[in-house]
Chain A
Amino acid sequence: MPPAGIWIDGLIQSCAYMTMAFGMVLVFSILGILNWTHGQFYMLGAFVVYYAITAVGIPFPLGLLAAGVLVAGLSILVKKIIIDHITGDLYVGVATMGLIFFFEGAASMIFGMQDKGLARVLPGVVDLGSFSVSYQKIAVVSFTLVIMIILFIMLNFTRIGLAIRATAQQPDAASLYGVSVERLSLTVMGIGCGLAAMAGGIIAPLYTINPFIGGIPMIMSLLAIVIGGLGSLTGAIVGGLILGFLNSVVAYHLSYLSEVVLFMLVVIILLVRPQGLFGASVK
């Protein structure tokens, strides 16, 4: 058994991947596209929090909120200006891949290439006998839990949640029943990318920040939603959990081989069950 610290690191990574994967699945189920820029929204969220604390001097929770709102606005702009004007899912996907370069370049120009570190916003640790957990890590986990619960309530018990679920199943029928699919997809794009930004923001004090931190969470959450089943929200959460723990726990035992194990596991899962663990059967 690896020490508890490794499991906690796994949990922290799972939280980030889960939040991002959840947003990606939301966007995918309504817009029908894979948003490859999700990792860059994560990176921008981390930067917004960094500058909110160091330059503007507002408290961490408000900075987090600002990250979510600003990036959500940015993603809605992206949707309005670019995604709406490109036809074909394939080409929208490629355009979002182009946006990866755009945002990374813009971030390096504006924020600089060097690593930035944010001091622990919540100092102090909880001593649990043989190991200790910092408040910052507890904050990440509890924040993710709260977000998940809010999203669960929103999707299952509110009118907008009903509209989202209906549109994911049958866009045409939903629009016949008075759902404005256009407005809904803007909302969902905002929520999904805002989630990515908040994931980046909440985790920002734990890791270094630079314009290229978005890549790995992006790949991981992409793998998470694919092994969980494309379009399945439960699948996104479970996939995020699996990959987060694999990434740290297997890495403890196998060091560099862990990534090979991880990718091979993804390949095997997809070959055996192409629709993913929780996906509906394809065709």
Chain B
Amino acid sequence: MMTYIDYKDVVPKAVIGLVVLLILLVPIITTNESTLSILILSGIWAIAVMGFTLVLRTGQFSLGQAAFMAIGGYTSAILTAQMGWSFWPAFLLAGLVSGLAAFLVGMVVLRVGGIYFSIITLSLCEVIRIVAQQWESVTRGARGLITAQPNPIPLGFFEINFFSSTVPYFYLTVCLVAFTALVFWRIGESRLGRSFAGVALNPVLAEHQGMYLMKYRVIAFTVAGVFTGLAGSLYAHFLTVLTPTMLGLWQSIQILIMSIVGGIGSLVGGPIIGSILLYTFGSYLTRLDIYGIQQLLFGAVVVLVLLFLPKGTGLVDLWGRFWTKVIWREKEFEMDEAEE
């Protein structure tokens, strides 16, 4: 089954800090719009992937995470485009609405676990897409909603202007990713996170220990829903247009592939690494001229990662192995030794 390795003992904090600093300095190093937008979009996916990984930690395999992105995205898009709200309240409300939807769906659907849960979330994902496609009066159907940009924020001598460049979006995404990562990391460390793992690893034992399985599953699903909704809202506003096909079943599958390839051993590191690497890889592949080669290589990479980094350890495990083998020059990393 899954093993949960904590890399904070393996990788020096300074290195992680350096990486974070580098990411923060990216807009100063390069102002290339396409580089920035790749980073922003992979950050947005990272949030959704973290949500998926949290749900997966309770043992449920959700194939409908893109639906919550769609709910969040459409909430804020409708509020800003059709009702004239400004970005920030709409953004927050998107998270709330998506979380509420996740709560209601979870209360009903999480009762049936396993593959049935996956199929039901898959169906809901398609239902949301079809409704968004056909409810022309509200969502403008396949033509898509044009979302409003956030208003400029005056800061004395300086103005944060979302219209002129992607840099404010970059920092907004970094903040949101950092906040999500912090919340999820705290959840993973806390009693709640351990309960999630317990519910997944041995539901029968967990239930006999007095844990109400539904409670933990619904909590994980709702928290994931809130953050996925925020990510969806940001996605819609960053891309300035939201069409139903942008968030469908394929995006759900993409989220789960990013999660598994990144590694489900950690709630934060795996999703971030997985989504940044796979998204960047995917968007560089689209520049190739040959039709179909990007999908072919994408699929091949997914399969190769699963073949050579088995059991969901994923790419995040490479990071740990790199430090234990190359830097520490140890043959095998033992959990017990590192904890001493």
Contacts and interface: CB of A to CB of B under 8 A. Distances in A.
Contact of A271 (B108, B302, B303): B108
Interface string B282-305: 000000001111111111111100
Nearest to B309: A91
Contacts of A113: 291-292
Contacts of B188: none
A99 interface: yes
A109 interface: yes
B257 interface: yes
B130 A223 contact: no
B112 A226 contact: no
Contacts of B114: 282
Interface in B288-340: 290-303, 306-307, 310-312
Q: Among B111, B115, B134, B307, which residue has the most Cβ atoms of chain A within 10 A?
A: B115
Nearest to B1: A88
Contacts of A271: 108-109, 111-112, 120
Interface stretch (B76-84, B121-129, B172-180, B233-241): B121-129
B256 A86 contact: no
A230 interface: yes
B306 A98 contact: yes
Given A98-B299, A102-B299, A256-B134, A91 B312 contact: yes
A155 interface: no
Interface majority SS on A: helix, strand, loop or mixed? helix
B70 interface: no
Contact of B291 (A87, A108, A223): A108
Contact of A101 (B126, B296, B307): B296
Interface stretch (A159-167, A244-252, A262-270): A262-270
Contacts of B127: 259-260, 263-264
A111 B200 CA distance: 44
Interface in A139-176: none
Given A101-B295, A109-B290, A109-B296, A274 B260 contact: no
A94 interface: yes
Nearest to B134: A256
A6 interface: no
Given A105-B294, A223-B123, A98 B302 contact: yes
Contacts of A100: 253, 299
B209 to A, nearest CB: 18
B119 A105 contact: no
B293 A95 contact: no
Contacts of A211: 292
Given A91-B260, A97-B253, A101-B299, A267 B123 contact: yes
A97 B256 contact: yes
Contacts of A97: 253, 256-257, 302
A109 B299 contact: no
Contact of B311 (A88, A95, A98, A270): A88
Contacts of A256: 130, 133-134
Contact of B257 (A34, A90, A94): A94
A278 to B, nearest CB: 14
Contacts of A206: none
A103 interface: yes
Nearest to B310: A87
Contacts of B302: 94-95, 97-98, 101
B314 to A, nearest CB: 10
Contact of A226 (B119, B292, B298, B307): B119
B61 interface: yes
A87 B3 CA distance: 14
A95 B114 CA distance: 18
Contacts of B306: 86, 91, 94-95, 98
Contacts of A103: 299
A267 B298 CA distance: 31
Given A104-B295, A105-B294, A267-B124, 14 more contacts: A34-B115, A94-B257, A98-B257, A98-B300, A98-B303, A106-B292, A108-B295, A222-B119, A259-B126, A266-B119, A270-B116, A271-B109, A271-B112, A282-B114
Interface of A: 34, 82, 85-88, 90-91, 94-95, 97-109, 112-113, 211, 219, 222-223, 226, 230, 256-257, 259-260, 263-264, 266-267, 270-271, 274, 282
The 8 closest A-B pairs by CB, nearest first: A108-B292, A102-B299, A105-B295, A105-B296, A98-B302, A101-B299, A263-B123, A109-B292
7 contacts: A90-B260, A94-B257, A102-B298, A104-B292, A109-B291, A267-B120, A271-B112
